[in-house]
A = this chain, B = another copy of it.
Amino acid sequence: MKVTVARKAHFNSAHRLHNPAWSAEKNLEIFGKCNNPNYHGHNYDLTVKVTGEIDPETGYVMDVKILNDLIKNEIEARFDHKNLNLDTVEFKNLNPTAENIVVVIWNILRPLINNQLELKVILYETERNFVEFAG
């Protein structure tokens, strides 16, 4: 009898989509205006879901305050008001597409959450584009 608990958060970052193995022309062709050399940015909206049994003593699957602190300390502190390409180790050599960002966030959070809980991460890059990853 598994219940899912979810918490939303957000961070505001600059990024640029770029593959250094390609020519400038190919980068522009594939990534279009997202390849702008001087970066652009987004308000990223993040939802983190954990799924598991309800603890009968607390009535919680996981204390959402603890989940929220994890997101603040591990994700917001790392990416908020940062340039993903220049200011983070995670995207020094990894193209910061929404797909890659959502996998990176899942990989950061997975070892920090009880492994009896399933983990899913949803990331909105804009109100109209979003990605999901569940491992």
CA distance A114 to B72 in the complex (A): 32
Contacts known (A13-B40, A65-B32, A86-B38); A8 close to B127, Cβ less than 8 A: yes
Number of copies: 6
A119 at the interface (CB under 8 A from B): no
What residues on B are CB-neighbors of A7 within 8 Å?
A: 128-129
Bits for A39-72, please: 1 = Cβ < 8 Å to B, else 0. 1111100000100001001111101110000000
Bits for A106-127, please: 1 = Cβ < 8 Å to B, else 0. 0000000000000000000011
| Cβ B130 vs Cβ A6 within 8 A | yes
Contacts known (A58-B95, A99-B61); A36 close to B4, Cβ less than 8 A: no
Band of interface residues on A: 35 or more
CA distance A100 to B83 in the complex (A): 22
| Cβ A81 vs Cβ B17 within 8 A | no
| Cβ B126 vs Cβ A12 within 8 A | yes
29 contacts between A and B (CB under 8 A): A3-B102, A4-B131, A5-B129, A6-B130, A6-B131, A7-B128, A7-B129, A8-B128, A12-B126, A13-B41, A14-B14, A14-B38, A14-B39, A17-B59, A30-B63, A32-B65, A36-B81, A36-B83, A36-B87, A38-B86, A39-B39, A40-B80, A41-B41, A41-B42, A43-B43, A58-B95, A59-B95, A59-B100, A64-B129
